[in-house]
Structure 1
Amino acid sequence: MKSPNTQFSGGGRRSSSGAVSMSSSSVGSRTSDRLPHSPSTSTYSSTTTTISQKSNSGRNPVIIAVKSVVEAFASCFTPPEPKSSSTNFGDSDSFKAPSVASDGGRKKRHSSSSSRGRSIYGSENNSTHTKEAGSIKFNMEDIYKATKNFSPSLKIGQGGFGIVYKGCLTDGTVVAIKRAKKNIHDKHSGAEFRSEVRTLEKIEHLNLVKFYGFLEHGEEKILVVEYVSNGTLREHLDSVDGNVLDFASRLDIGIDVGHAITYLHMYTDHPIIHRDIKSSNILLTENLRAKVADFGFARLAADTESGATHVSTQVKGTAGYLDPEYLSTYQLTEKSDVYSFGVLLVELVTGRRPIEPKKEIKERITARWAMKKFTSGDAILTLDPRLERSAANSLAMEKIYELALQCLAPHRQNRPTMRKCAEILWSIRKNYRELAG
């Protein structure tokens, strides 16, 4: 019997290693997999974004040994002061109407801005908001009916932002309903809600959770998204249902996630950085298709047309997946998602969580341990012991690790784009299928 599904970050019962969202008003409300606040770490209180111009730093060669996230934590937790006027992502008017990928993210077509150009926050209570004409309509009464007044029996996940329920709307559509915590003093959760709404309003892709709408009614903040029935990738890697996710399925999932992130980076009107790519944010359908969820940390990328190369912003993400360069410089780019994707690739091969506190010290940071074994010629020792040691699996593992090593390069200029990652994975899968027969 499968365990209850986890629909959002923080993932309910099972969670990956701690996430970072350091704000004096928010740390206590983050999910169980978020890092606790301590005096030794900085307080990230800024919610603004500044665009920084191109730096003069030179290119550095790929360093084989991946830096320890733990080491970076000790020295890099003092955010810089903003140097220029800033733009609040949650209130930005520059988040334009979206493009929709109709063929897996390879083409782009622009939707009418007139259909989505309205303000999505200046609304009255008990109002209904939907993604576009023809979307599902609902009001607060419908939400109460769908969740049986937010019955605990329909709870499928819980995080610092709130609780997620499975519900059935009046037209029969089964959905996931995310109910924000009622905490008027927690400005951070409100910013996450606005960020997630703004992102979900602008995107549509086969490998992203579908957005049906949102609703604000008094203190209630509700997000309604696609219900994905088969749990999270992390649950499957943990074999929560007793079944082992085979290597071919893991490779397919990696490709699905690669497509989703490529779409966010390249095929929206303005590139979007997810900032929290991790296995507990990847939902699986019954046929093991992957859908990336939880856009509470998502940010617009830098406006490269104006010459900007990065966004300077507070550090958010999940420990073990965090880009060490972003962690130390507060400079966010699409390559931060690439780094997280590299960690995810290692997770798919090893089956381990990014941080394994019960392992001996040299194995606790999974990506660092796996890359060291790979570069010393002992990659096979890192393969999930539940997987077959076949020629096809071994060769694909080596190729995946070659890609992961590039994604995990300490400096962003040495990492590939997500589009390149997806292309490489396609090639790996083609060769894998030929060899596996």
Structure 2
Amino acid sequence: MTGGDRRRRGSFADYFKAAAKRVSGALAALLLLRKRRSSSRPAVSGAPGNGGGQVSAVSSSTDTARSSSKRRSSSSRASSSVATISPSGLAAPTGFTMEEIVKATGNFAASNVIGEGAFGTVYKGKLRDGSLVAIKRAKQNVLNQRASSEFKNEVLTMSKIEHLNLVRLYGYLEHGDEKIIVEEYISGGTMREHLDGENGLEMTERLDIAIDIAHAVAYLHTYSDPPIIHRDIKASNILITEKLRAKVTDFGFARLASEDPGATHISTQIRGSTGYLDPEYLRTYQLTEKSDVYSFGVLLVEMMTGRHPIESKRPLRERVTIKWAMQKLKGGDAVLVMDWRMRRSPASIMALENILKLARQCLASTKETRPSMRKCAEVLWEVRKEYRERASSPLPSAVRYSANYPVRDVENHRRTSFGIAEGESYKFASA
């Protein structure tokens, strides 16, 4: 191993050690605070394995002390379960009420809708201190036992985590039939929306986003106590910031891993999204962290191709995107699956091939042969480093159009996509 390799591995390990240290310190402070408050506040119930009792309160580890003394106790709030944390870093609000949620969303105005899901609708909201938040409101017609369980699960899971690339929980509210979660607002939309857009993202941006996602899921698997399995890693659950960085969201399906060190899996009902589900999990009902790794492999292919995991209107051989992409990779034609929105260059095609190779490992049929999410992050770091080095190196024009480029096929694809007539000139943009 060269000195450069040791330094790179060292910097990566230092990143995770520092993150683990911050998290452990925050958890220690939270445990101490809970002990001090145990005589005046009921414990949170309803955790997995607890029998599904009512959730009474939840706070982020960094802001619990600020929010604990600010809760209101008026009779108009007696039917609500409330927890709040200041998203702006200013003085914490004294409590969320239904009236405040209604005001923040303009009475749940359609103009404030920023997302829809199986659980409900997500609104952009503005609190009285000016803070922007995302407000998830459960659909009234899905307030059944399963929806209630997912609500509690999301609140409890988010209360246990804190990471730069995970969406933060600010609070929640139960008021009659209303179930509402208040989260960090991310303005850039979802990864899927970016992939569907006309402009798309360049390779460097997709690499940054992939690394952010890998860090977030590696944190859930390795540094949460107990580890957390997300169970629904997909492009629509990746939010993109204004600076084109990623935050993982939607923990309604998340599960805490077994605290038994000898346990190899959790036996559970199937949860997840079509196209992303681990076939081994589907077959055995045995959930492990490697099911998230499989979903991440699907997501990597999705990010490189721009396609949905299932493309029902494509020719039969192209309908399952991961199979089509892996076949092209195996045949040496990986460039043919590259999203047409990305510029082609020796650097970007090298990165594409290496990312697809990592995806192939993540998509292995058995969990034992899949890499860990931490390993995925390490590999992606190296891919990004090499991409940047190659992209910044001046290359003679002859190299840009070498025999390694199936220019005709790709150019025809671009011509078809943009409506360029046969015979008109078109050239790749350089990196």
Give TM-score scaled by structure 1 length.
0.73
Alignment partner of 1:212 is 2:130: no
Deviation at 1:304, TM superposition (A): 4.3
1:383 to 324, 332, 338: 338
Q: Secondary structure at the match of 1:294?
A: coil
**CA–CA distance in 2 between the matches of 1:302 and 1:309?**
8
1:53-68 aligned within 5 A:
none
Deviation at 1:185, TM superposition (A): 5.9
User: Contact (CA 8 Å) 2:166, 2:216: kept in 1 or not?
Assistant: yes
Number of aligned residues: 334
Alignment partner of 1:189 is 2:171: no
Alignment partner of 1:119 is 2:64: no
Q: Secondary structure at the match of 1:318?
A: coil
Deviation at 1:127, TM superposition (A): 3.8
> Match for residue 302 of structure 1?
258
Deviation at 1:108, TM superposition (A): 3.7
**CA–CA distance in 2 between the matches of 1:402 and 1:106?**
33
Q: Over residues 386-410 of structure 1, what are the superposed CA-to-partner deviations in whole Å (9 max), with x where a residue is unaligned?
A: 2222000111111111111110001
Q: Over residues 365-406 of structure 1, what are the superposed CA-to-partner deviations in whole Å (9 max), with x where a residue is unaligned?
A: 101110111112111111112222200011111111111111
- Structure 1 runs (4+) deviating above 4 angstroms are 101-107, 131-136
- Cα gap change, 1:324 to 1:107, in 2 (>3 Å): farther
> Match for residue 161 of structure 1?
119
Deviation at 1:107, TM superposition (A): 5.7
**CA–CA distance in 2 between the matches of 1:167 and 1:105?**
32
- Cα gap change, 1:293 to 1:122, in 2 (>3 Å): closer
Task: Kindly provide the amino acid, as one letter, of the partner of residue 233 in structure 1.
Answer: M
Deviation at 1:262, TM superposition (A): 0.4
Q: Secondary structure at the match of 1:283?
A: strand
Task: Kindly provide the amino acid, as one letter, of the partner of residue 126 in structure 1.
Answer: S
Deviation at 1:160, TM superposition (A): 2.1
Q: How big is the alpha-carbon RMSD for the aligned residues of Structure 1 and Structure 2?
A: 2.0
Deviation at 1:104, TM superposition (A): 5.3
Deviation at 1:254, TM superposition (A): 0.2
Task: Kindly provide the amino acid, as one letter, of the partner of residue 79 in structure 2.
Answer: N
Q: Over residues 119-177 of structure 1, what are the superposed CA-to-partner deviations in whole Å (9 max), with x where a residue is unaligned?
A: 26354523421369975542222111101221222111122211111111111110010
> Match for residue 175 of structure 1?
133
**CA–CA distance in 1 between the matches of 2:299 and 2:92?**
33
From the CA coordinates, give the structure whose radius of gyration is larger: 2
2:82 to 112, 128, 134: 128
**CA–CA distance in 2 between the matches of 1:368 and 1:151?**
42
**CA–CA distance in 2 between the matches of 1:409 and 1:122?**
39
Give TM-score scaled by structure 2 length.
0.74
Q: Secondary structure at the match of 2:181?
A: strand
Report percent identity of matched pairs.
57
Highest RCO, 1 vs 2 (Cα 8 Å, sep ≥ 6): 1
1:323 to 256, 272, 278: 278
Task: Kindly provide the amino acid, as one letter, of the partner of residue 234 in structure 2.
Answer: K
Q: Secondary structure at the match of 1:302?
A: coil
Higher mean displacement: 123-132 or 404-413: 123-132
Deviation at 1:105, TM superposition (A): 5.9
1:14-33 aligned within 5 A:
none
**CA–CA distance in 2 between the matches of 1:256 and 1:126?**
36
User: Contact (CA 8 Å) 1:312, 1:330: kept in 2 or not?
Assistant: yes
What are structure 1's unaligned runs of at least 5 residues? Answer: 1-100
Task: Kindly provide the amino acid, as one letter, of the partner of residue 263 in structure 1.
Answer: Y
> Match for residue 397 of structure 1?
352
User: Contact (CA 8 Å) 2:361, 2:370: kept in 1 or not?
Assistant: yes
- Cα gap change, 1:371 to 1:256, in 2 (>3 Å): same
**CA–CA distance in 2 between the matches of 1:289 and 1:193?**
27
**CA–CA distance in 2 between the matches of 1:104 and 1:177?**
28
- Cα gap change, 1:387 to 1:185, in 2 (>3 Å): closer
**CA–CA distance in 2 between the matches of 1:401 and 1:158?**
30
> Match for residue 245 of structure 1?
201
Name the structure where helix makes up a greater proportion of residues: 2
User: Contact (CA 8 Å) 2:143, 2:177: kept in 1 or not?
Assistant: no
**CA–CA distance in 2 between the matches of 1:405 and 1:185?**
39
1:81-160 aligned within 5 A:
108-110=23-25, 111=27, 112-115=30-33, 118-119=43-44, 121=54, 123=56, 124-130=78-84, 136=93, 137-160=95-118
User: Contact (CA 8 Å) 2:290, 2:367: kept in 1 or not?
Assistant: yes
User: Contact (CA 8 Å) 2:119, 2:142: kept in 1 or not?
Assistant: no
Task: Kindly provide the amino acid, as one letter, of the partner of residue 109 in structure 1.
Answer: S
**CA–CA distance in 2 between the matches of 1:166 and 1:197?**
19
**CA–CA distance in 1 between the matches of 2:309 and 2:334?**
17
1:274 to 225, 230, 233: 230
User: Contact (CA 8 Å) 2:167, 2:248: kept in 1 or not?
Assistant: yes
